[in-house]
């Protein structure tokens, strides 16, 4: 067993109202630069829909993620090492910018500088951010918002193609009547990342301490294999710098113990952040399970129980400080994934072991219950609907359990039972034990789950320990053992430098200089580099 910690996320889709606040704050933070106009590290899709970039889930076309070869060995769907190098000159699986959308800019000065007394209202025209030419807006990252244009496009949703023909036909036939929900997506920071595995230069890496997947901007050579290998299409080419960029899980914030900017600003409070312990040696076997329907259980089995003394001992031996062990025990992500088992991974069949999981939405089912003339507050009616109505459940199963309808239905029933249980308890003052038997949970568990899903406060939703350096943890352990002075005593090694989200810098030992114009600027030594400094223009 080789224990590692991973910062993971769970999103409760029932609470997503599709406001795109996460997308906007993420863009303002990370991708408001030339070359990344079309890039959304966080985007919110409406499902059913083809997504962003278009049809990204269609792996027959993009060859993203992993698959098993004839001998049952795990290999990248886009091919092995030699095949990849043979495609350096042109990557046949790379989406073009038109598969995302052509970014546009508006000349707002036309409105500001319009002279008084004009007869006609001045209009700002869209101009292509790529060519500067006037253009027509025909697509965007959330063009299908709330099923806009679904009757034209959404039949191309790759998840529909995998559903049973009859159910898919009914969805296609009356889109606006069937169901819709929003799906916020960021990089999955996978345990078995296809992008990292496909990077020819070795510039992409997974951090040992927290599992965040990053691109080393100094080592990326622009071979663009990561873009096509990622089945979620969450690595992008910056066409201005010629390098790959991706969601960083806001690591400067995470290191300082703060949630990512998308979580921090989430209006629906649907995101949960915490660490999970996992066994690195078990990853490959879990990703290589033959039956796709077994993938969910295999992925859950990779996680280690943070309350198990043996696991805690292993974590300490691996150099993790006590705060990390405490955080792992309190992790809302661990509870939702492994204890309550209501969170599911997005497309486990890609075999990347994604680390952003989702509590599937019950609302499409509840809508269907109401439409069928049943009582959407009655657990039995909901159970029956979940069993009988194939459309929302089959669709959700394609998304979260590789088509395993039973697994998805089980989670939905847990959510429905929790809802009815709490309703009975709060309104009637009764304890509906029969509901608990059906889902195999205790009353305490259901109430704790209810609290976590419905009313959890900031500190319960985001349990993020401050980053540590391995050496420091070891030194501290040594110092404590010797009854010596602590690291942070006057003049001790802990007093030398202190970094925070505000003074984060990719290269150690350098001062951040305030007042720099952009993210990529000259460093103190004259090299061009990646600096982050929110205190722009002084301070």
Partner 1 sequence: MTNFVWTVLPYLCLAVFVAGHVWRWRHDQFGWTTHTSQVLENRLLRLGSPLFHLGVLGVAGGHLMGLVVPASVTEKIGISEHAYHLIAVWGGTVTGLMLVTGLVLLIIRRMINGRVRRVTTGMDKVLYAALAGMALLGMIATVGVNLLGGGYDYRETVAVWFRGVFWFQPDAALMSGAPLVYQLHAIGGFLFLALWPFTRLVHVWSAPLAYLWRPYVVYRARRGPAPSPTASPNQVRDAAREPSVRR
Neighbouring C-beta atoms of residue 63, cutoff 10 Å: 18
- What part of residues 429-458 is at the interface with partner 1 (CB under 8 A)? 457-458
Which tokens is 104 given?
A: 């546009």
Residue 454: CB minimum distance to partner 1, A: 18
For tokens 């859950």, the residue is 300
- What part of residues 257-276 is at the interface with partner 1 (CB under 8 A)? 257-258
Phi and psi dihedrals of 7, rounded to 5?
A: -80, 120
Residue 105: CB minimum distance to partner 1, A: 13
Among 17, 85, 310, 372, binds partner 1 (CB under 8 A): 85
Handedness of CA 394, 398, 404, 406 (dihedral sign): negative
For partner 1, the closer of residues 151 and 528 by Cβ is 528
For partner 1, the closer of residues 37 and 376 by Cβ is 37
Rounded Cα gap, residues 186 and 248, in angstroms = 9
Using the contact rule CB under 8 A, the part of the chain among 40-48, 335-343, 376-384, 500-508 near partner 1 is: 500-508
Rounded Cα gap, residues 331 and 460, in angstroms = 8
- What part of residues 18-77 is at the interface with partner 1 (CB under 8 A)? none
Helix (H, G, I), strand (E, B) or coil at 129: coil
Beta-carbon-side half-sphere exposure of residue 243 (alpha carbons within 13 Å): 18
Give CA angle at 11 (308, 341), nearest 5°.
40
Neighbouring C-beta atoms of residue 68, cutoff 10 Å: 15
Residue 217: CB minimum distance to partner 1, A: 6
**Listed residue (449, 332, 343) closest to 399, CA to CA:** 343
Among 210, 367, 394, 404, binds partner 1 (CB under 8 A): 210
- What part of residues 339-368 is at the interface with partner 1 (CB under 8 A)? none
User: 68: part of which helix (H) or strand (E)?
Assistant: strand 66-68
Paired residues of 66 in beta bridges: 76
- What part of residues 364-423 is at the interface with partner 1 (CB under 8 A)? none
Residues 449 and 340 sit within 8 Å (Cβ to Cβ): yes
Residue 96: CB minimum distance to partner 1, A: 5
Mask 89-118, x = binds partner 1 (CB under 8 A)?
xxxx-xxxx---------------------
Among 383, 409, 529, 533, binds partner 1 (CB under 8 A): 529
- What part of residues 456-475 is at the interface with partner 1 (CB under 8 A)? 457-459, 462, 466-470, 472
Among 199, 343, 379, 405, binds partner 1 (CB under 8 A): 199
Among 152, 169, 176, 218, binds partner 1 (CB under 8 A): 218
Contact between 132 and partner 1 (CB under 8 A)?
Answer: yes
User: Residue 48, preceding bond cis, omega within 30 degrees?
Assistant: yes
Chain-centre distance for alpha carbon 216: 20
For partner 1, the closer of residues 314 and 506 by Cβ is 506
Residues 232 and 66 sit within 8 Å (Cβ to Cβ): no
For partner 1, the closer of residues 168 and 318 by Cβ is 318
For partner 1, the closer of residues 276 and 439 by Cβ is 276
Residue 196: CB minimum distance to partner 1, A: 5
For partner 1, the closer of residues 108 and 527 by Cβ is 527
Helix (H, G, I), strand (E, B) or coil at 215: strand
Give CA angle at 500 (509, 32), nearest 5°.
95
For partner 1, the closer of residues 92 and 309 by Cβ is 92
């Amino acid at each position: 067993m080789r224990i590692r910690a991973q910062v993971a996320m769970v999103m409760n889709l029932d609470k997503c109202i599709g406001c795109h606040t996460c997308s906007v704050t993420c863009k303002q933070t990370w991708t408001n630069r030339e070359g990344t106009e079309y890039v959304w590290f966080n985007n919110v899709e409406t499902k059913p829909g083809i997504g962003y970039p278009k049809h990204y889930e269609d792996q027959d076309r993009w060859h993203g993620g992993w698959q098993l070869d004839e001998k049952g060995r795990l290999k990248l769907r886009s091919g092995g090492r030699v095949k990849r190098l043979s495609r350096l000159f042109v990557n046949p699986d790379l989406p073009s910018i038109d598969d995302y959308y052509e970014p546009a800019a508006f000349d707002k000065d036309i409105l500001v500088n319009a002279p008084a007394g004009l007869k006609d209202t001045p209009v700002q025209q869209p101009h292509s951010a790529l060519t500067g030419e006037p253009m027509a807006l025909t697509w965007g990252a959330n063009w299908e918002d709330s099923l806009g244009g679904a009757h034209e496009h959404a039949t191309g949703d790759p998840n529909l193609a995998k559903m049973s023909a009859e159910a898919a036909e009914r969805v296609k036939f009356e889109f606006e009547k069937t169901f819709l929900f929003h799906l916020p997506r960021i990089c999955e920071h996978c345990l078995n990342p296809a992008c990292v595995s496909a990077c020819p230069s070795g510039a992409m890496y997974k951090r040992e301490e927290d599992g965040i997947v990053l691109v080393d901007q100094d080592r990326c050579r622009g071979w663009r294999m990561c873009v096509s290998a990622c089945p979620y299409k969450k690595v992008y080419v910056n066409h201005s710098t010629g390098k790959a960029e991706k969601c960083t899980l806001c690591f400067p914030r995470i290191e300082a113990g703060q949630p990512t900017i998308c979580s921090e600003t989430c209006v629906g409070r649907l995101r949960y952040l915490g660490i999970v312990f996992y066994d690195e040696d078990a990853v490959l076997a879990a990703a290589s399970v033959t039956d796709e329907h077994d993938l969910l259980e295999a992925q859950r089995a990779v996680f280690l129980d943070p309350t198990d003394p043996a696991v805690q001992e292993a974590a300490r031996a691996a150099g993790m400080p006590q705060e990390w062990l405490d955080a792992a025990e309190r992790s809302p992500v661990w509870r939702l994934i492994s204890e309550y088992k209501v969170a599911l991974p997005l497309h486990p069949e890609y075999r990347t072991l994604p680390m952003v999981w989702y509590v599937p939405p019950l609302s499409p089912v509840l809508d269907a219950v109401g439409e069928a003339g049943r009582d959407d507050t009655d657990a039995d009616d909901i159970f029956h609907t979940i069993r009988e109505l194939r459309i929302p459940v089959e669709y959700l199963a394609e998304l979260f359990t590789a088509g395993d309808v039973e697994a998805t239905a089980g989670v939905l029933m847990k959510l429905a039972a929790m809802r009815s249980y709490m309703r009975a308890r709060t309104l009637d003052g009764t304890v509906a034990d029969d509901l608990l038997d059906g889902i195999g949970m205790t009353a305490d568990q259901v109430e704790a789950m209810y609290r976590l899903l419905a009313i959890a406060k900031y500190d319960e939703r985001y349990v993020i320990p401050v980053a540590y350096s391995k050496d420091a943890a070891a030194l501290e352990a040594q110092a404590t053992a010797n009854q010596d002075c602590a690291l942070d005593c006057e003049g001790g090694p802990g007093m030398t430098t202190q970094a925070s989200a505000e003074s984060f810098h990719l290269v150690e030992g350098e001062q951040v200089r305030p007042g720099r114009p952009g993210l990529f600027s000259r460093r103190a030594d004259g090299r061009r580099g990646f600096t982050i400094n929110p205190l722009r223009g002084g301070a």
